[in-house]
């Protein structure tokens, strides 16, 4: 038995295949989001990785911003539910989940049964999201993958006072023109993302264990800044960007088993 979860995000498409024992058979991340060839490329990559075509998949659940656009899915489940499910499966003691993706940041409370009990979300503004970091990395002629190491080499965090992405971009350009070291600018950018995320988290209340997922969880600079601002330890699961797709695959596996039982 095989179940597929596919998370069609704003900037990246993630897919996870599980076997009948809920073990990950394969996972892929394609840096193309909703409205692109991301889904087709993810499916092709899965087939190449594990030789499974769509005919071998018993049930598919789509989630993420672009989930409505994929007609090949058997069902759709909200991102919030999939993220909670993915984390509860891998980290049963998680009670607060911070997910920062390309287009939004969310903080989810997970109860003792592994179910989402509450959430807060920023989806109105690019500040505090992966998009903010993508734009800033572009100005600094770096890639998002390099931001964590740059931050680690900083000596101080330069204040980025504008919360608006466009104004913050101008601020970064002016710091660069004033020869402020890139590392210190990066630390300031991370501090700004951490402050915004912390504001969101405090609205919900932060309860241990705190786990972070989404593409931005791979940026140690943001994670450490958030730990300092919130005064908590944050755990990052393996491959944090596939968490929503994993949750979707777990929902797909439930369905596949139910269908098999009723057959
Ligand atoms: P979405 O589901 O909205 O597409 P993701 O959870 O896939 O969002 O996260 C995408 C964001 O993650 C990007 O905007 C980028 O800033 C960040 N990101 C992706 N890969 C990395 C990486 N290797 N290191 C740091 N940040 C990354």
Model confidence pTM above 0.85: yes
Is the shortest distance between the CB of 240 and ligand 1 below 6 Å?
no
pLDDT higher than threshold 80 for residue 246: yes
Tokens at residue 149, please?
Answer: 């190491």
**Using one digit for the tens of pLDDT, what is the confidence trace for 9-67?**
999 999 999 999 999 999 999 999 988 999 999 999 999 988 888 889 999 999 999 99
**Distance between Cα 15 and ligand 1 center (Å):** 14
Q: What is the layout of strands, in order, in the sheet containing 75-76?
A: 24-30, 13-19, 2-8, 59-63, 75-76
Q: Is the pLDDT of residue 211 over 80?
A: yes
The answer, yes or no, to whether any atom of ligand 1 lies below 6 A from the CB of 144, is yes
Q: What is the pLDDT of residue 259?
A: 85
156 C-alpha to center of ligand 1: Å?
A: 25
pLDDT tens digits for range 131-170: 999 999 999 999 999 999 999 999 999 999 888 889 999 9
In this prediction, residue 53 carries a pLDDT of 85
Residue 136, C-beta contacts closer than 8 angstroms, at least 6 positions apart: 168, 169, 172, 186, 189
DSSP reduced 3-state for 66 = coil
Closest among 19, 24, 16 to 46, alpha carbons compared: 16
């Amino acid at each position: 038995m095989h179940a597929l979860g596919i998370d069609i995000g704003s900037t990246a498409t993630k897919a996870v295949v599980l076997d009948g024992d809920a073990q990950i058979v394969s996972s892929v991340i394609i840096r193309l989001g909703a409205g692109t060839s991301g889904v087709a490329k993810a499916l092709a990559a899965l087939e190449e990785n594990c030789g499974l075509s769509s005919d071998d998949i018993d049930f598919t659940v789509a989630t993420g911003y672009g989930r409505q656009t994929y007609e090949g899915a058997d069902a759709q489940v909200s991102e919030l539910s999939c993220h909670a499910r993915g984390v509860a499966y891998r980290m049963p003691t998680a009670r607060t989940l911070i997910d920062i993706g390309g287009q939004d940041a969310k903080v989810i409370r997970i109860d003792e049964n592994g179910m989402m009990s509450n959430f807060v979300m920023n989806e109105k503004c690019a500040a505090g999201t992966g998009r903010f970091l993508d734009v800033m990395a572009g100005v600094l002629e770096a890639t998002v993958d390099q931001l964590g190491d740059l931050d680690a080499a900083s000596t101080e965090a330069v204040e980025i006072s504008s919360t608006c992405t466009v104004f913050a971009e101008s601020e970064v350009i002016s710091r660069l023109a004033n020869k402020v070291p890139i590392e210190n600018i990066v630390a300031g950018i991370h501090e700004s993302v951490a402050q915004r995320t912390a504001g969101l988290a405090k609205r919900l209340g932060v309860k241990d264990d705190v786990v972070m997922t989404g593409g931005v969880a791979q940026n140690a600079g943001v994670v450490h800044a958030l730990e300092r601002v919130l005064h908590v330890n944050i755990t990052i699961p393996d491959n944090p960007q596939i968490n929503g797709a994993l949750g979707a695959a777990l929902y797909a596996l439930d369905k596949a088993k139910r269908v098999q039982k009723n057959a």
